[in-house]
Structure 1
Amino acid sequence: MPHAATPPPPSTPLYVNDGLFDEDQVGFLRPSSPSEPLDDLRQRFERDGYLFLKGLIPRDDVLKAREAYFNLLAPSGVLAPGTLPVEGVFDGNKDKLDFPGMVPGSTDGNGRPRGGIFVDLALQAHAEPWYKDEFCKHPALRSFIASLTGWGENTLGLTRSLLRNNTPHNKAIGVHYDQIFLRHGEDTSMTAWVPMGDISLDGGGLIYLENGHTLGRELEKDFYDRAKQTGLTEAEAKDAFNKNMMSGGLLADGPKDFGKVYGRRWLVTDYEAGDVVLHTPYTIHASTINKDPKNVIRLGTDLRFVNSSRPYDTRWVNIYTFGDGV
């Protein structure tokens, strides 16, 4: 079975916002097959806090969406001349700072990401029918989550999503867990991180803190316990928690030091179009800096699913816009 082998730590140099990972700081994500017994997959999800599913979505469907995305962004000049849009190759003659992803630290004075037409088109992509009506509602993804969770017909994909590009050598995503952003609902949501294209090991894919879901719960509980001791109401505690986060709701900007502080490795992998990682609202994750040797732009999306029969964060029912307060 794909999850049986435990490969050695990767030898590829992996960089994050606070430097180069030491070899003993990294391991590999455990792959799973969607065809394995659901009971086995549920147990693995509960134990590890994630499921790295190989080939859940048909590869052609993913590449079709990738092509549509880069066709949309092509007028910004981000793509290398003579390459196909589906390849998503960055024009290395351009200044990377002119093409920032939607990550903290790449904003202007008003909190809006820099980048002019590039970020305008990246934002527009969230509302395109091929994305919001087709890709985000892909039946293979929704039906698998409905079966895995037992939510059935109550399985609801939230409209708000984060479709992120990451051009080579730009800032990576810092350390966080998703409940920080979904705190106006129960902690029962599920995130599907979907790489929209192949991502090399050093291409800026998501990385997961080993047993990070248990640490996320501990951090959340510790803060709420201390908040209650000071006499804060539930609403005040939620607001106070977010105010104590770093810019953009981060636990830390740098995964390297964060992993050292808590004595846990970061789990990494290369991704193929069609793969999906499901993770809990407390699973701590980040990303590496995109060092892809072929200058391939990393593209991926965060899709959130909830049980519509339970209270969920209704701020996520609208299409993502800059400054929407979530």
Structure 2
Amino acid sequence: MVGLALEHNIQVNDGPLTTENASLLRPSDPTLPLHELRARYEQDGYLFLKHLLPREDVLEARRQYFSLLAPTGVLQEGTDPVKGIFNPTKSPDEYPGIGAGAVGNNGRPGGDKAAQFVDLAIEAHYEDWYAEKFCNHPDLVRFVAEFTGWGEHTLNFRRTLLRNNTPGTKPIGVHYDQIFLRYGEPTSVTAWVPMGDIKINGGGLTYLEDGDPVGLNIEEEFTTKAKQAGMTDEEARSAFNSNMMATGLLSESPVEFARQHGRRWLVSAYEAGDVVLHKPHTIHASTINNDPDNVIRLATDLRFCDSSKPYDKIGNLVTAFDLAGGLDVELVDLNGCALYQFAEKAEEKNV
């Protein structure tokens, strides 16, 4: 296995990832027997699938995305939008990512100069080439349906998170996805889909080694203490969310977090067509985008569940006030029953 050295320039918020505190993700061939893939998923908490999607389909979606954002000046002049090369004459501060914990509540980041960029980044979530075509790619839906055994009951949440990460900007902090899906059982599957090639130092996701048990333990410990304090299930859930950082993160310091839990971070380069499936309590973060060629990192989070069983209908909302990431944290203090009824009605009307 190739070691990770300082010269690879793989960094997170609080320092570098090297052989001492990191290793490589285990890749899997999607054509392996399902029982073997399921065993890997249960053992690792993730399944790193190589070349699951047609490369050309992923790159076409990438082209559409950057063509939409091109009027903001984010791309280097004279370059093909599909390459996603950041304009070196611009400041990254003018092009903040959404949902990265950059501001409280994961709301709308940046100032006036960033407004057009952020608005278009949010608008991309509703474009047909993304919402209708890419998010429902038959190869992905088919694989998830077979892998989980959910079959025709496989539901792809309408609410997704399409993230860009320009070089040098704030990466995503330490978290697990169940934090954002509080009104459903922890049975969903997240598909993290890189929309383009991402170098090993280009801002891709990093997973905590054996991180699923850590996430489960964090939540169980908090729930136990809440119950001992006399809280109801709903009160405990709300208190857990409120106890998290305002952005829904466990930590902004991945190196220190891994050290405290005696774990390493797992990293990889990614190719267009790769997909990583992970469990609701699998702990992950992202690295800083230090791409030497100034390539903007683009990826999306797609979530699936079994529609024949109770699931988080709030997490399935798509609304104008969601801001592609603010919904999770902003709603935790509202009345859970009323909110769930609202979600059910919204779902019926396909909001």
Structure 2: 5+ residue runs without aligned partners?
332-351
1:228 corresponds to which residue?
Answer: 227
1:72 corresponds to which residue?
Answer: 68
Query: The residue matched to 2:20 in structure 1 has which SS?
Result: helix
2:24 corresponds to which residue?
Answer: 28
Code of the residue aligned with 1:21 in structure 2: it is: L
Q: Deviations over 1:75-121 (max 9, x none)?
A: 11100001100000000110111101014453489942121100000
Q: Distance in 2 between matches of 1:82 and 1:282?
A: 43
Query: The residue matched to 1:65 in structure 2 has which SS?
Result: helix
Tell me if 1:50 matches 2:74. no
2:170 corresponds to which residue?
Answer: 171
Tell me if 1:275 matches 2:274. yes
CA RMSD of aligned residues (A): 1.4
Query: The residue matched to 1:247 in structure 2 has which SS?
Result: coil
Q: Distance in 1 between matches of 2:268 and 2:199?
A: 8
CA distance 1:110–1:297, shift in 2 (3 Å): closer
2:146 corresponds to which residue?
Answer: 147
Code of the residue aligned with 2:223 in structure 1: it is: Y
The counterpart of 1:94, out of the listed 83, 90, 93, is 90
Q: Contact 1:151/1:307 (CA < 8 Å) preserved in 2?
A: yes
- Once the two structures are superposed, the pairs formed by residues 128-207 of structure 1 within 5 Å of their partners are 128-207=127-206
1:4 corresponds to which residue?
Answer: none
Q: Deviations over 1:227-253 (max 9, x none)?
A: 100000000000000111112110000
Code of the residue aligned with 1:45 in structure 2: it is: Y
Q: Distance in 1 between matches of 2:33 and 2:18?
A: 36
Q: Distance in 1 between matches of 2:106 and 2:188?
A: 31
Code of the residue aligned with 1:49 in structure 2: it is: G
Q: Contact 1:101/1:164 (CA < 8 Å) preserved in 2?
A: yes
Q: Distance in 2 between matches of 1:138 and 1:302?
A: 13
Q: Deviations over 1:59-80 (max 9, x none)?
A: 0000000000000000111000
From the two aligned structures, give the one with the greater helix fraction: 2
Alignment TM-score, normalising by the size of structure 1: 0.95
Code of the residue aligned with 2:127 in structure 1: it is: E
Q: Contact 1:179/1:281 (CA < 8 Å) preserved in 2?
A: yes
Q: Distance in 2 between matches of 1:110 and 1:35?
A: 38
Query: The residue matched to 1:317 in structure 2 has which SS?
Result: coil
Query: The residue matched to 1:277 in structure 2 has which SS?
Result: strand
The counterpart of 2:4, out of the listed 5, 10, 24, is 10
Q: Contact 1:14/1:202 (CA < 8 Å) preserved in 2?
A: yes
Q: Cα offset for 1:14? A: 1.1
CA distance 1:219–1:132, shift in 2 (3 Å): same
Q: Distance in 1 between matches of 2:105 and 2:237?
A: 26
Query: The residue matched to 1:71 in structure 2 has which SS?
Result: helix
- Once the two structures are superposed, the pairs formed by residues 200-215 of structure 1 within 5 Å of their partners are 200-215=199-214
Q: Contact 1:201/1:270 (CA < 8 Å) preserved in 2?
A: yes
Q: Contact 1:96/1:168 (CA < 8 Å) preserved in 2?
A: yes
Q: Contact 1:158/1:317 (CA < 8 Å) preserved in 2?
A: yes
Q: Distance in 1 between matches of 2:217 and 2:106?
A: 34
Alignment TM-score, normalising by the size of structure 2: 0.89
CA distance 1:196–1:188, shift in 2 (3 Å): same
Q: Contact 2:187/2:280 (CA < 8 Å) preserved in 1?
A: yes
Code of the residue aligned with 1:278 in structure 2: it is: L
Q: Distance in 1 between matches of 2:261 and 2:255?
A: 10
Structure 1, 9-18 or 32-41: larger mean CA deviation: 9-18
CA distance 1:109–1:190, shift in 2 (3 Å): closer
Tell me if 1:300 matches 2:299. yes
Query: The residue matched to 1:144 in structure 2 has which SS?
Result: helix
Q: Alignment length, in residue pairs?
A: 320
Q: Deviations over 1:153-190 (max 9, x none)?
A: 00000000000000000000000000000010010000
Structure 1, 20-29 or 31-40: larger mean CA deviation: 20-29
Q: Distance in 2 between matches of 1:68 and 1:277?
A: 22
Q: Distance in 1 between matches of 2:106 and 2:44?
A: 39
Q: Contact 1:102/1:113 (CA < 8 Å) preserved in 2?
A: yes
Query: The residue matched to 1:64 in structure 2 has which SS?
Result: helix
Q: Distance in 2 between matches of 1:57 and 1:277?
A: 11
Q: Distance in 2 between matches of 1:18 and 1:159?
A: 34
CA distance 1:104–1:300, shift in 2 (3 Å): closer
